[in-house]
Structure formats: C-alpha cells, structure tokens
Chain A
Amino acid sequence: MFDSNMWRRSLNAGCPCVFRLTGIWGSRAARQCSAPAFPASRITALQALELWKRIFEEKGVSEPRHSSQYIVAHLLGSKTIEGLEPGRLLEFLTPEETERMWKLCTIRLSRMPVQYVLEEWDFRDVTLKMKPPVFIPRPETEELVELVLGDLRMKSGNGDDPCTCLEVGCGSGAISLSLLTSLPQLTAIALDQSLHAVDLTRQNALQLGLQDRLQTYHIDVMKDAETVLSVCSHVSVLVSNPPYLFSEDLASLEPEILRFEDHSALDGGKDGLEVIRQILTLAPKILSNHGRVYLEVDPRHPPLIEQWVEANVEGLRYVETQHDISGRPRFCILQTDKSRDHKLDLD
C-alpha cells in the first residue's frame, strides 16, 4: 500500500519523486498506473510544478516544463507562469487546487494536448474553447489572419461596402472569430464537414458575442459543392487552413496530434492538395470579382499550386506567396479575375 510517510519525508527532503504503487496492484500495474497518489500534506504551487515536470520528463511527455507550467498557471488564474505575481508560486495549494492539479496533470500524462486539458487556448486577441477532436489552431495561422486583415483594412479605407468572408474548414472558429473581432464591419460564413467543429465554432461565437455576424454551416466542401455555392453570395474573401499534410506523413506525427486531433482536419491526400484543389476550383464561383483567396499550406505546395491553378482554373490567378515567421513559404494568395476567360474564344 502506498505509504504517506514516504511522501511527506521526500517532500521535506525537497526532492519529489515518482511513486510506484505496489502491493495488491502488483508490479505490472505499476508500469501502467504512473500517476503519483495524492499528497498527504500541503505543497506549494512551485513544488507541484517541479514534481509534475519531472514526472512528464520521465514519462516522455513532450514539452514537460511548459505542460506543467501552463497547468499550474491556469489553476492559479493566470494564462502563463510569467503572468503570475512574484511569490505566488510559493504559496501553498488548497486541497481543491491540489486535487485539480493532479486531475489535469494525470490527463496530460495520456499525451492529451495541453490545449484540450485546459479546454481553452489563445489565438491572437481571443481566447477560444478547445475540445477534442476539433483541430487546435497553430501559431502560423495567426499570421494568415494578419495577412487577410492587412488587405481588408486597406479596402475599408477606400470606403468600399462592408465585406463578407468565407472560411472553409473552420475548426474551432479561430480564423473567422479573430477576423470578426478585429473588423467590426465584417460578416462571416464558416463551414466545416465535422459537426463537432461546427458546434464548437458556434459555442465560441456565442462566448465572444459574435454570433450575429457569423453564419455556420455543416457542409463537406468535397461532397457538397452545390450547397456551398447556394449559401454564399457576395463573398469578397475566401480564407482557409485546409488539411494539407501528405497522407504518408500522418504516421510520424506526435501522439498529441495522432491520438486526439481529427485526422480529417490534417489529411490532404497523397500530395496534400486534395482539399486545396477543390477549394480553388470553387473559388471563382464563390467570390465576387477581384475577390481573394488566402490559404495556409505545406511549405512544398506554393509552386505546385501556382502551376496547377494556371493550367486548371479559369478566372483565378496566383498573386503571391508569403512566408511564415520562420521563413518557410506558408501562405498562398490568389485573386479572381473574371476577364481572363480567353481560353474559350481562341480557336
């Protein structure tokens, strides 16, 4: 049986360690049940942080320090450890806080992403609810939103009518809701083939008070092209972070992604371009003239996309490739140009 004296002694010695449950549960169970039992006496936030950091390290959980830090910070009401008042970490945790810490960290042990453990995460200026298996927004996508914003702000500066933007594959609603927050005049339409995603986007919209400016639809752009066209009118921006991984790359993903995130939000087919091609095919029919498409893609994609569009899509021209913060080609910008339908005339 677990010895609480052992626990207290080791804490006093200042070196927390992992405990194995022995006795009636046996040594086989010990390898499976890796969570330490609840501490018998009070510990400080810092001690809990350090303890769990070591446990995560031992168990091979990715980002052990950050995982522990974010959970502790969240517990204490801050978004980050750095945001806590100096000295806050030295205070003892209440029994409720300790219990919650243990619960959250044990979940993290199963390799569930921190964002799902905390059930929230930040994206630009908004905090969004996160729920498996809905895809967790990546930092690169924040830059995609910046690109769209830059262009839209210029447009509204020219005194044009308020715009509508369409997001294909909205996930948690990050892109649409972030755009709506930054541009009070914008309205948005968001689609996703996953009902979980549509539900979560609606929840987040409600939470942010943006539900009146956002329409959400449960539509699969691959199968239901007609429905897509019927719900969209006067769209001047099409933005998407579509699944763009190559199918063969899925196997090498971290457990956090593989086990918990929706694979259909990641898998772009053999060359990663299946969904992208469909979106670009529909774009000229959805967008008003000179409307733009903004895509986040795999670094290998931009030249392939440019070639393919040139050869296969009437009325859509490739504008430029933008790079992400790490210098990788990451964003493709295209524009509808309905005067380019010359292929039909020449004979």
Chain B
Amino acid sequence: MKGPEARSSTSCAACRLQKRRCTSNCIFAPHFRSDDPLKFAQVHKVFGASNVSKILSEVPQEQRDDTANSLAYEAEARLRDPVYGCMRTIALLQRKRVELQHDLMLARARLAHYIASNSSQFGKGHVDMAPLSHLSPLCIEQTQSFGWNLSEFY
C-alpha cells in the first residue's frame, strides 16, 4: 500500500492559499514560496491553480521558474488593467520602437550626408542604411494576425 507523501516542513504559498498539505514534490513549492503570498494569489486569481499546474508540468523543470515568473508578471498586469493586461505595454513598446527606428534613419541619413559632402577629405566612408536585419517585426506580424489595431493605445 502506498504510504502518505512526505509533508514539506513549510507550506508553499500555493498550498497555504488552497489550504492543503504541501508535499515534498509539490509542483508549486519551488516557484511560489511562502514569503511571497501575493505572487501566487495573483496567478491563482487570473489563471487558476489547475491551469498553472498544467502549464508548469508541460515545461521542462529548468524552465519552470521562468514560466512561473512570466505568469506572475502577466497576472499582475491583468489585475492592474483588467481590459488590456499586457497589451498596453506591448503597444507602447512598439510605438517607442517605431519612433526610434525613425530617429536612427534620420541619424544615418545625416551621417551619410556628412560623408558624401566631405568624401574628398575623409575618404569614401560607408553608412549602412539597411534596416537592422535582426529586428524582425514579430510583434507587428503577431498582432496583425489577430486583426489587432494597436493604434488605439497611441
């Protein structure tokens, strides 16, 4: 007959909130410690303990801390802004990125002008005017695939 699971000496925040025994193999315990009850309370309110448990169990153990932290971030954002959640931050960052890309383009054009007008003195310089190739517009693609117009945030 299978014996009872060993009880953890200190209940994690999840087990305390759910008023249950915290076992030594509790999936929540490493990521929702008892000294930070708010973290799990927020995640529980937004996603639910069952869903969080499923998400954690579906990722490799070494990535569960990052998973729990990103869930906590998302939950906090959604509780702070029940309509837009993380989307407001994404929209503002996208706007900032567009503005900076424009600034970079202007700066490069100005540098190219300097080089062109002084090529006899400085030799033929080169300004890479190509857009930064590693800056894939992943967010624009992803948000457009949802028919999402982020301009309402601007």
A binds B: no
List A residues at the B interface (Cβ < 8 Å).
Answer: none
